[in-house]
Amino acid sequence: MKHLIIVFIFFTSLNSIFSQEQFNISGIVSTQNKEVITIGDVLLISKIDNKIIKYTFINNGKFHLEKVKKGNYFLKVNSLGYFEISKEIKLESNQHLKLEFIEKNNILSEVEITASKKVIENKNGNIIINVAKTRLSKESNTLDLLSKLPRIQIASNKSSIEVIGKGNPLIYIGHQRISIDDLNNLSVSQIEKIEIINNPSSKYEAEGRSLLLITLKKEIQDGMKISVTETTSFKKHFNNYLNASTNFKHQKARFNLNISFNNLKIWESNSADYQIPYKGISSDYLVVAKTNRKQAIIQGSFSYQFNKNNHLSVNSNLRTQKEPFTINTITNINSDIINTKSFNDGNRYFSTSNINYIKSLNNSNEFFFGAQYTFYDQRITNSITNKFNVTPITTTINRLQKFNINTYTLKSNYTKKLKKKKTLEIGASYTNTSTNSTINTFTNTIKQNYYFTEKNKAAYIQYSNNLSTLKYSLGLRFENNETDGKYSKNSNIIFKKNSTDFFPKLNIAYAINKKKTISLNYSKNITRPNYSSTTSTSAFINPFLEFRGNLHLTPSITNEVSIRYQFNKNSINFNYYHKQNPIFYSFHYDENNNKTLIYPTNLVHEKGVNLEVNIPKKYKLWSSSNTISFHLNTINDTRALNTSLSPYLYYYSNHQFKINKSSSFAFDFWGLTNRKEGIFTRESIFVLNASLHKKLFNSLDFTVSFNDIFNTMEFRETYSLQKLNVKNVFFTDANEIAFSLKYSFGKINKINNTNKNINRNMNRIR
């Protein structure tokens, strides 16, 4: 409670934000011979303190800076091979400029402009996180980076991502979808910014109530740039991350290569206390898993700009890891104590490759086509020993489990700019996925194969219009999904479904004035089960308890309405949603085999409302971003004995302090209060992180990070069903001190295109 009081005091003490007039600056840039400048940088710098206020780049001879506050500025425009244009601007109205570059014979040496960069911004109700050249760029891996962001929750086993109030998001790089495995392959040094979008349009798959849009760095000049990063992390065990990145560009061709070697020791733990009253069974267990993971990640890309209207890119990345691990479990069941030791040898391989082509038909139309293939393979050899203390019996189980996924996707989009700020977008995609899971139990000479296939055909149309003070977009997505599953290639199908669904989207935004906007959103979405959830593989805990997949999971359908009020850089969001057949993990008792199973299952429904407020603040060398949201959710199950509801609070606050030109300090905290959501009762949580960054030399950066400082990141929940009473605790290994050194040399400049993944099922591959 004391943490909550501190947070309330902090939020209520924030100063009110003063309104200021805002104007636009646009311009046309050419040479003295009237040739169009195709590439360059535009900087708007405050005349008072020489800080960078806005940045953009020249695109086909034009640039545009929006919503600039009234005041006095320096405008600096640069392009390789020309003298810099510097112009003083007194901004009291919208300005349109015509600028001419003067060619020079000698290339200017590199000039570094130092300015404080805001880490988190709020724009149109969405959250923009700037990663490049901020303290977030020093994180050891992408998932650790995401865990520091507002509203983002990473699962304790780092197998899934959740946005508070929105569930699992879509994850995209540019136009195309990636998976959490791709995130594990992505180096933090490649990321420019991340945007958390609340209501993605029909252009994106219907599975997303929210979207993480990742923008990669777009800067490199002719020549080579190399960066090497070494991060040492101390959690419960020692972890080491080593990454080398090389970028090479020559005229129209660009090549990128990232190689990482990680030596990790992963600690995971879960505890549960459950009773089965009508059977007189009372049990509790504590399971601890330790993994020695040696991991190699290789990512390479090549792109070629034929001309300003044609671009081809190819990208491929793979991750291979060998992960021997042990699982030790102590179980008390009635009067017996069982010691379970599981020795496992695991191997995992993930690879994805794609090719993309973008063609600009004219200044207003663009065509995109992409193809992608993804392969995932996991193999685990288990040797499990159970020792019963009361009845001195020792049993041993030996088995081999295999699971693989093959999926390919074809996708095309066409965007047409109509007259009077109208835009029409159409697109189609096709995805084919097959999985195969095998369990070979050597002790009983039992072998089981399960095959699952899925075909998805989709098409969408999106129309948007800008009527000055009124902006709106209408979208409709069609998806046909066909699935079937069987235990062998020649056996009868035991699971088959063919469904066609339509997913409408609506967004209306009305500008009350230049500083205030109100908008309304409606969307219908679908959540399909992860592929690993719809298999027959299992994780052995003890002779009476086992984690399993569920072959008969069905998708969840969500209808959602939200209203947003944006004033200056602040926003207030109200949201209501209703989800049918939500998927949750829960306990089930198998009477035939006298065993308790934990597996994902469809509950009846989930519905809720939430109110969210976003408040950014800045004063001199201090900048801050703050989010607070109130939630009231209910989750219902026909087996529930009783349900209860109580509202809860989520809060997040991020602070950055610029100590001097080469040093900065930052800290953030977030938390959840106690909450009751129908059948689930969950306890509060509070987490504090901090970091200190120092630039030692021009090419050497040092960062020390402190994560989960109070070691409080534990997830506790209880629920009661007709035949079960359960108390769960999921422990995390988030308490960490990490030291990072980054050495780089070379120069960077702007590049126009990046390669992107298009597989629509990427976040289900796990």
> What pLDDT, on the 0 to 100 scale, is given for residue 113?
40
* Residue where a domain stops, chosen among 101, 136, 168: 101
pLDDT at 460: 94
How far CA 209 is from CA of 168, 449, 523, 605, in Å, comes to 8, 34, 8, 16
Neighbour count for residue 250 (Cβ, 10 Å) = 10
Below-50 pLDDT ranges, the chain: 1, 4-19, 106-115, 748-757, 760, 762
**Closest to 573 measured CA to CA, from 51, 150, 181, 110:** 150
451 located within any domain: yes
Q: Is residue 307 a part of any domain in this protein?
A: yes
Range of the domain at 97: 22-101
Residue 640 sits at φ, ψ, to 5 deg, of: -70, 135
User: Do the domain assignments include residue 627?
Assistant: yes
**Is residue 678 left, alpha or beta, with left meaning phi > 0 and alpha meaning psi from -120 to 50?**
left
Tell me the C-alpha distance between 126 and 136, whole Å: 19
Q: How many domains does the chain have?
A: 2
Q: What's the pTM? A: 0.71
At 371 the three-state DSSP class reads strand
Q: Is residue 357 part of a domain?
A: yes
- Of 52, 79, 101, the domain-final residue: 101
Query: What is the pLDDT at residue 9?
Result: 45
Rounded CA-CA distance 284/280 in Å is: 14
Distance from C-alpha of 196 to C-alpha of 205, rounded to nearest angstrom: 16
* 181 located within any domain: no
Instruction: Quote the pLDDT of residue 390.
Output: 62
Q: Residue 736 belongs to a domain with what CATH number?
A: 2.40.170.20
Q: What is the pLDDT of residue 642?
A: 63
16 part of a folded domain: no
Contact 398, 442 (CB under 8 A): yes
CB 113 within 8 A of CB 43: yes
Could you say which of 51, 70, 101 is where a domain stops?
Answer: 101
Q: What is the spatial distance between Cα 199 and Cα 197, in angstroms, rounded to a whole number?
A: 6
**CATH classification of the domain holding 95:** 2.60.40.10
Q: Is 112 within the bounds of a domain?
A: no
pLDDT at site 175: 66
Same domain for 83 and 232, yes or no, is no
Q: Are residues 88 and 227 in the same domain?
A: no
Q: What amino acid occupies position 393?
A: I
Give whole-number Cα distances, 232 to 183, 235, 301, 566, 703, in Å.
20, 10, 28, 42, 11
Strand blocks (E) in 221-364: 223-234, 238-250, 253-276, 281-307, 310-333, 336-360
- How far apart CA 514 and CA 70 sit, in angstroms, is 13
Residue 96 and residue 446: Cα distance in Å, rounded?
Answer: 76
Asked whether the beta carbons of 26 and 62 are under 8 A apart, the reply is yes
Residues β-bridged to residue 260: 243, 297
Q: Does 149 fall in a domain?
A: no
